[in-house]
Amino acid sequence: LSRNGQSKINPRPGKLVIYCDSDYQKNGIEVFHDVLDCSSWVLSPTILVKVVRGCWILYEKPNFEGPSIPLEEGELELPDIWGAGTSDEENECKSLKPAVIGSIRHVVKAMIMAIFIFQDYRVCQIDLYTEPEGLGIVTSFFDDTEETGVFGSTQKTCSIKVHWGIWLIYEEPGFQGVPLMLEPGEYPNLAFWEKKEAYIRSMRPLKMGGRKVEFSGEPKVIIYEKPLFEGRCMEIESEIFMFDDKESEEKPRLPLTSVGSMKVLGGIWVAYEKPGFEGHQYLLEEGAYRDWTDWGGYDEKLQSLRPIVGDFTSSHMIMYSEKDFGSKGSNINVLGIISNLKDTGYGLRTQSINVLSGVWVAYENPEFTGEQYILAKGLYPSTEAWGGKNCKISSVQPIMMDVVGSERGKIKVQLFSEPEFKGNCQIFEKNTRCIDSFAVKSSKILDGSCILYDQEEFSGNQYVLEEGIYPDLTAMGCPPQAVLKSLRIINI
């Protein structure tokens, strides 16, 4: 969606989990959107907050008021969450009191395009002025700055303008001391800081991490007929070629013919504007999508949907400027995030891609904006192979496995007694010398790799399975009549 010269923004869902007693074995409170009042939640004196996706702010009081704590992706243990340096005796009493959070806000940079509001994850900017009201000498900052001074001299600040992002500013270099948090807006003076002037020595914006997946081997989506998770719904675990109201002998009629909202419970999914996986592509990470603007749609149309299965632990691809991986043009090996391919010297023209490992997202424009194309492992000899309308790719990023503090980081193997993941299911998380519960006919390998053997005690023919789903023995690389008797986990 390009309006007023602005590039289409590709929004992402947020997710924050609050655990009591720092115990991951217990279920946490999952948060996907703003919570105006959560003061009634029952929490332990010490809580562990895991930010899976996005940047968030915790407030002491409801309605986003009172002292606040900014959070980036990662984990943070919070004992005595709003402690204010009380005496030891008071601290001992307070340590027994449950933590209270008044409200929670998902931080996004809102950008208004006509009547639409999108989440914007582009470059941050803050301006510091030497005089009040935005006057005097202005100095602009766009990223982490450990020391603002030049030759040991720090310029005074009397007013501030935050263009994009949530910024943390410090009066000490190296991000030391207690930061002050500033949201987008103009600050004509420093009355909010109870100062007339300040010497800001370091600063940094809150940053959102790259695309990620928690439950890669367990694709599951709940689709709702209407926005805000209302109306009829259906749960799916495999691709939907077309949402329509037609019924045939080969295809039963679906209970829904349109998609108003979604909850992605597991895996990475791609939604398409048109039937048959055609048209605009929308990447769906795990999270809640209240309506079509949450997944960055051009409009309400969403006619097909499929999960992306692959190895999310390592990523490598080669991009070529010519079709069919031609050697006459230029090429580039890509191993990680590139926000602007123009800066690499490779250029912006890509006509073929070899994805050697991982799952990637390619974007038409810099800073992960514009049309997006999802690339699983394989060969793409032309732009048509990835659904491109032209050969312009300006930024790329891999989708990575999120294993921080998660039980899902442990290797897990699901074996099924029938093809297509049906029948009895048994879960293995360690080496097993003898599988005697049933004959294995299909499997799902979650967060790791394993070796299956056709004899007990890890002997006989070996079948190595990487992370992924295998609907039958043939997909697992086994003969149709193979009987699998033991299993060894591969720890890398």
pTM of the full structure:
0.71
The pLDDT assigned to 333 comes to: 94
User: What mean pLDDT comes out for the span 167-176?
Assistant: 89
Read off the pLDDT band of 248 (50, 70, 90): low
DSSP states along 394-454: -EEEEEEE--TT-GGGS-EEEEEEEGGGEEEEEEE-S-BS---SS---EEEEESSEEEEEE
Does residue 161 surpass a pLDDT of 90? yes
Read off the pLDDT band of 35 (50, 70, 90): very high
C-alpha 358: how far from its chain's center?
15
The pLDDT assigned to 251 comes to: 54
pLDDT in tens, 5-17: 456 778 888 899 9
Read off the pLDDT band of 67 (50, 70, 90): confident
Does residue 116 surpass a pLDDT of 50? no
User: What mean pLDDT comes out for the span 233-262?
Assistant: 76
Which residue from 415, 440, 442 is spatially nearest to 429, judged by alpha carbons? 415
pLDDT in tens, 342-387: 999 999 999 999 999 889 999 999 888 899 999 999 999 999 999 9
Alpha-carbon gap, residue 224 to 244, rounded angstroms? 14
Which two tokens mark 210?
A: 């790259």
Run of H or E residues at 316: strand 316-320
Residues contacting residue 92 through CB under 8 Å, at least 6 positions apart: none
If one counts every other C-beta atom within 10 angstroms of the C-beta of residue 308, the result is: 20
C-alpha 482: how far from its chain's center?
39
Alpha-carbon gap, residue 308 to 270, rounded angstroms? 7
Read off the pLDDT band of 94 (50, 70, 90): low
Alpha-carbon gap, residue 352 to 327, rounded angstroms? 11
> What is the percentage of the chain residues whose pLDDT exceeds 90?
42
CA 61 → CA 37, 57, 66, 105, 228, distances in Å? Answer: 8, 12, 5, 12, 26
Beta bridge partners of 274: 278
The pLDDT assigned to 485 comes to: 92
- Average pLDDT value for the chain: 84
CB half-sphere exposure, 364, CA atoms < 13 A: 19
Sheet holding 46-53, edge to edge: 29-31, 15-20, 46-53, 74-79
Domains in the chain and their CATH numbers? 15-112 (2.60.20.10), 125-205 (2.60.20.10), 212-308 (2.60.20.10), 316-401 (2.60.20.10), 410-490 (2.60.20.10)
